[in-house]
Structure 1
Amino acid sequence: MFRFIIKSFAFQKLRNNIIPIPKRTVTSFSSLFIGYNIQYNNIQNIFSKTILRTRQNNVCSKNKYLLSRYNHDIPRVHRNCWKCNSEIDYLSIHCNRKDCGVIQNVFPNDVTYFEILGVGKKVNGQLQPTYDIDSDQLRKNFLLLQQRVHPDSYSTKEDRQEYNYASQQSSLINKAYQVLRDPLSRAKYMLKLNNISISESESLQDQELLMEILDVREQLEEATNENNVKVIKNESEDKINNILAELSQAFSSNDFCMAKESTVKLQYWYNIRNATIDWQPGKRIEIYH
């Protein structure tokens, strides 16, 4: 990035003739271009190509390592209990002191849903986000956590603050579970962790696939019985399974461009599957694109 800024600055100087420039080989600006031997006529081409590469890579390459924010490069060891101020484990739900033991307030914003629910890829003892998770383990961890924070268990506490924190914890844990249990919302969440967002009306760039979606919509509209719809539903399930395999590969290789493209496709096929479930003779088919 620093080299790009230097090149940009030098090009502006060359273009605007702030410093006289010979039409032959440029050897000035030695402090800016140490080791470079640049033809003046090629400078603008170099600069333009640099901008083009930057724009092409901007969406995905700059995001490739953003998950390092969640890899705990700076170890998060503890926080402090809101009541007794003693140090507790960063991900602890209750104070570790036996004479205190109060439920804690919700986790800091930099704690991911994967950490909250104890699923993901373990690296150096830390849980990192991963698309492939054990659904059974996820549900088991969710139920155990909800037992520990259920607000009803704190409704009789003298300190109302514990009940409030229990309600907040329960709500957060439930939200985390709803996001991670569904392949589409899990993909969107992982992209969001990398500063990539996908709206409900995200456009599909693959025109061939878009035509396929429109064709399926027409088939649903012309369907006369549930058997016709069942065929379409089975086809959509196959498509979804194939896209899930793509997402697994994309996230495991940190290819967020592919992950975003596959997530948009998954969103479309989800809509088709939902349309087959809601299908009724003569009912208008709503598939957003």
Structure 2
Amino acid sequence: MRSSIVGRNRQVLKSCEASTRRNFATNSARRPSLSGFVCLSCSRKLTESFNHGRTQRRRQSSTTSSQAASKTAPRINAMPPTHYELFPKTLSQGPPPSGPFHIDVRDLRKEFLQLQAVAHPDRHPSHLKARAEGMSAHINEAYKTLQNPLLRAQYLLRLRGVDVVEDETTKVEDPELLMEVLDAREEIDEAQKEEDLTTLKTTNDRRISRSEEILDKAFREDSMALATEEVVRLRYWVNIQDSLHHWENGEPILTHH
């Protein structure tokens, strides 16, 4: 751009100098100018051309500086469609049925910490902070959901249009299951010391593991009916697990259906 401006200026000088020499020969008068034999009119044109070039160079320098600053800042991409796509290292196969229901929680946490280190709002310029905060919150929500088998299963069903949390019709009408749940709650209520609940804790842990195995099979086979039924069942076992945890810590026991 600078070379083109210089070229135009030289043409103006050459033309103007020839004209001014003719005037000088005729009038025997020489007026001081920008380049010896340059008229006042062309002097103004050259000054305007110079100022225009300087403005253009400043703009180009500012644009280059902005581009350099944007390259040094961590990139905040658009939020992905699913939680799984946030963790490409740990969950490279994606959600079921292409990927497994089970997740290595340790690997998930490592990738979660790496993502949060990049997305932290303090690492971004002011005009990107709001977007970084939104991405950071999205990463937190995704990690919280995926590291918990019950929340993960509910999320996968929600992706298929099945909301077992809000839909009251998604309950298991199994008398044997309901009896097991009532017996567990009664045992918790009657416990006098922590050792009284040892057997129930072991039994309930096995129930949770079994539900996770069934969910893995259901999602792998893309059986939403089986997955829905087992998610409701797992929710009962998780509620009992929470009640056992509260009992150990001397907190009020909260039971849910």
CA displacement 1:174-230 (0-9 Å, x = unmatched) = 111110011000000100111011127753321210111001111111111110122
Residues 128 and 172 (structure 1 numbering): CA distance in 2 closer, same or farther, change over 3 Å? farther
Cα RMSD of the aligned pairs, angstroms, is: 2.6
Is 1:257 matched up with 2:225?
yes
Q: What's the counterpart of residue 12 of structure 2?
A: none
Question: What SS is found at the alignment partner of 1:100?
Answer: helix
CA distance in 2, matches of 1:178, 1:112: 14
* Distance apart, 1:135 and its partner CA: 1.9
Q: What's the counterpart of residue 40 of structure 1?
A: none
CA distance in 2, matches of 1:216, 1:187: 24
Is 1:271 matched up with 2:236?
no
CA distance in 2, matches of 1:139, 1:238: 25
CA distance in 1, matches of 2:239, 2:153: 16
* Distance apart, 1:105 and its partner CA: 5.4
CA distance in 2, matches of 1:116, 1:282: 38
Q: What's the counterpart of residue 241 of structure 1?
A: 209
Contact 2:207–2:237 (CA under 8 A) maintained in structure 1: yes
Q: What's the counterpart of residue 165 of structure 1?
A: 131
Q: What's the counterpart of residue 174 of structure 1?
A: 140
- Structure 2: segments with no counterpart, 5+ residues: 1-66
Q: What's the counterpart of residue 115 of structure 1?
A: 85
CA distance in 1, matches of 2:240, 2:223: 26
TM-score normalised according to structure 2 size? 0.64
CA displacement 1:248-275 (0-9 Å, x = unmatched) = 1111110111111111111000000110
Is 1:211 matched up with 2:179?
yes
Matches within 5 A, 1:117-196: 117-118=87-88, 119-120=90-91, 122=93, 130-154=100-124, 157=125, 160-196=126-162
Contact 2:116–2:139 (CA under 8 A) maintained in structure 1: yes
Matches within 5 A, 1:21-40: none
Is 1:104 matched up with 2:54?
no
- Structure 1: segments with no counterpart, 5+ residues: 1-96
Q: What's the counterpart of residue 224 of structure 1?
A: 192
Contact 1:106–1:165 (CA under 8 A) maintained in structure 2: no
CA distance in 2, matches of 1:257, 1:105: 35
Q: Return the structure number with greater strand share.
A: 1
Contact 2:215–2:231 (CA under 8 A) maintained in structure 1: yes
- One-letter code of the match for 1:107? M
Contact 1:120–1:128 (CA under 8 A) maintained in structure 2: no
CA distance in 2, matches of 1:208, 1:98: 66
CA distance in 1, matches of 2:251, 2:140: 34
* Distance apart, 1:280 and its partner CA: 6.5
Contact 2:102–2:216 (CA under 8 A) maintained in structure 1: yes
Contact 1:117–1:173 (CA under 8 A) maintained in structure 2: no
User: How many pairs does the alignment contain?
Assistant: 184
CA distance in 2, matches of 1:281, 1:122: 39
* Distance apart, 1:231 and its partner CA: 2.0
